Amino acid sequence: MAKPQYEGYSANTATILVSENLAGAKIYNQNAKSLLNKATGFISSYDFTLNPYRGCQYGCSYCYAAAFSPNPKMRGDWGKWVIVKQNAVNILEKELQGWYKKNPDKPPSIYMSSVTDPYQPIESKQLLTRSLLEVMVNYQPTLVIQTRSPMIVRDIDILQKFSRLRINMTIPTGSESVRKDFEPKAPSVPARLKAIGKLKFSIPCNEENDVRFSITVTPLLPTLPEHQVGFIRKLEIADRVVIQEFHASHTRSLVAGTREEAQAIKEKYGWWYDNERVSYLKFKEKLDSLLSGVEIKEGKEGFGYD
């Protein structure tokens, strides 16, 4: 057995290093105690969050989820490790059975995922998110999937079978150069736009299936002036567009943009960040004037299912 890295981060739970280098990350297996966790904060309107993985290979510079790393070393290495919840399928099945025993007529609402991306690179080999969808489809929860990965189109065949589904595709900027600065390991902006188009085309919304599509421009990163109009017009493919300031609050620690990595990159974009509030409001004005037939929501309000 390979010697565990990051020793001591979880003294009571066996953690096994299974791969040294998958898309630049160390991969671990671990048994989780629970899969469905009480939803709080900006997604408190849901019953549960569901995170198939712990850690995230995309390693976005501004990611608040890094704060939930098991220890400071792993927090510093955010993006370079992933823990696979190897017993996730069994646990989820039991938890959903337990929910329906107590609430036979009330499907739970589930937000997948709040502190990882369910379609990060490991998912292409692991198929864990897909396996969890296969479990959930039998219980028909209200499901929201939050991702920035075009890999989600792989699962269209299962997603078509959910009756209450919202897919949130995160696209915080319309400029590839900005995306490469803030989230260099994440998929390109055009690939995400193409994916949401394919999803919308392939998953019907009718009397039986209430399916919706959001593009979450969160946190709102700079979009170069020459790209703004073109980007906003492309957002029209969604039912809802959500924006959120990079610094929604300076008093809370778990907001985007609090990490040093992001702070350093921001210095390059003084034309936007020197007066961030004004930049935000101008972008919002453009959304309002250029988008028609699309719901535009801000912050927490945008992350609800309805």
Instruction: Give min distance, CB of 61 to ligand SF4, in A.
Output: 9
According to CB under 6 A, which residues from 136 to 165 bind ligand SF4?
148
User: Per the structure block, which two tokens stand in for 291?
Assistant: 């988008």
Q: How far is the CB of 149 from ligand SF4 (least distance, A)?
A: 8
CB of 274 to ligand SF4, least distance (A): 24
Nearer CB in complex with ligand SF4: 148/179: 148
Half-sphere exposure of 268 (CA within 13 A, CB side): 14
Out of 25, 27, 56, 136, point to the residue binding ligand SF4 (CB under 6 A): 56
Q: How many residues bind ligand SF4 (CB under 6 A)?
A: 9
Q: Determine the interface stretch with ligand SF4 among 32-40, 51-59, 151-159, 227-235 (rule: CB under 6 A).
A: 51-59
63 is a contact residue toward ligand SF4 (CB under 6 A): yes
Which residue stretch of 22-30, 60-68, 98-106, 293-301 sits at the interface with ligand SF4 (rule: CB under 6 A)? 60-68
Q: Is 65 in the site for ligand SF4 (CB under 6 A)?
A: yes
Decide if 245 contacts 276 (C-beta within 8 A): yes
Q: Provide the token pair at 52.
A: 């198939």
Kindly tell me which of 77 and 117 has the beta carbon lying closer to ligand SF4: 117
Least distance (Å) from ligand SF4 to the CB of residue 292?
30
Nearer to ligand SF4, 99 or 130 (CB): 130
Nearer to ligand SF4, 65 or 152 (CB): 65
Nearer to ligand SF4, 64 or 283 (CB): 64
Between 182 and 283, whose beta carbon lies closer to ligand SF4?
182
Strand pairing of 48-50 and 36-38?
antiparallel
Interaction mask 96-135, ligand SF4, x per CB under 6 A: --------------------xx------------------
SS3 sequence, the chain?
Answer: CCCCCCCCCCCCCCEEEEEEEECCEEEEEECCCCCEEECCHHHCCCCEEECCEECCCCCCCCCHHHHHCCCHHHHHCCCCEEEEECCHHHHHHHHHHHHHHHCCCCCCEEEECCCCCCCCCHHHHHCHHHHHHHHHCCCCCEEEEEECCHHHHHHHHHHCCCCEEEEEEECCCCCHHHHHHHCCCCCCHHHHHHHHHHHHHHCCCCCCCEEEEEEEECCCCCCCHHHHHHHHHHHHHCCEEEECCCCCCCCCCCCCCCCHHHHHHHHHHHHHHCCHHHHHHHHHHHHHHHCCCCEEEEHHHHHCCC
What single-letter amino acid sits at 265?
I
Of 59 and 107, the one with the shorter C-beta distance to ligand SF4 is 59
Beta carbon of residue 217, minimum distance to ligand SF4 (angstroms, whole number): 13
* C-beta closer to ligand SF4: residue 192 or 240: 192
> Binding residues for ligand SF4, per CB under 6 A?
56, 58-60, 63, 65, 116-117, 148
